[in-house]
Amino acid sequence: MSLLAVAHGSRDPRAQQAVEALLDAVRARQPGLSVRAAYLDHARPSVAEALAETPDAVVVPLLLSRGYHLGVDLGSVAPSLGPDPLLTTALQDRLAQAGAPPDVPVVLAAAGTSDLAGRADVEAQAGLLAAARRTEVTVAYLTDAPPRLSVRTAVAAYLLWPGHFADRLAEWGARWVSAPLADHPAVAELVLARAQPGRTAPA
């Protein structure tokens, strides 16, 4: 089996570097698996180019929710990465790394989408995070106006890669802002789970 991980793509080279770091983490969890990246925009190879070379690859979208890219650009492939408890694990760890206390309210900051199914996915992920933290978690989108934040509010970046949207979070003025999920081990495990339904994660 070969795995083709499809990212949105960005003009920011940090994003492509983060994609490759995630795929390195995937390879480390399953040595011998052929893993490569493809991009929907702004970077190469394109999905068509990659599939021409590996037509039997399992396509896994590196997208956090449903939306136009998943439904139109990719058609019938593995589901989006979110919502999922593994993303909750990654979000929790990133918040802890940012120094956010476990009892503060959290704003889950997503890139933004007009797709109702995509928004439902983000809301569902916020619910998973709220249940895990036992604190209030609200959703905000980076395509909207910045939310009003209290002094003791943490922002969880519901983003996979560094780049424009992640940089905008610094402008919100929150005391604690987590880093993108990128190559977190839980995200690497989730990519493999999407490629191999029924996979049992190693202990």
| pLDDT single digits (tens) 81-126 | 999 999 999 999 999 999 999 999 999 999 988 889 999 999 999 9
Computed on alpha carbons and rounded to an integer, the radius of gyration of the chain in Å comes to: 16
End-to-end alpha carbon distance in the chain: 23
CA 11/CA 127 separation, integer angstroms: 32
Query: What is the residue whose two structure tokens read 């106006």?
Result: 145
pTM given for the model: 0.94
Contact 60, 7 (CB under 8 A): no
Looking at residue 194, what is its pLDDT?
95
Predicted pLDDT at 203 = 54
Helix (H, G, I), strand (E, B) or coil at 91: helix
Residue 201 pLDDT > 80 = no
- Reported as half-sphere exposure (CB side, CA atoms, 13 A), residue 194 has a value of 29
> Model confidence over 17-58: pLDDT tens digits?
999 999 999 999 999 999 999 999 889 999 999 999 999 999
Residue owning tokens 């499809």: 6
- Asked if 130 contacts 100 with a C-beta cutoff of 8 angstroms, the reply is no
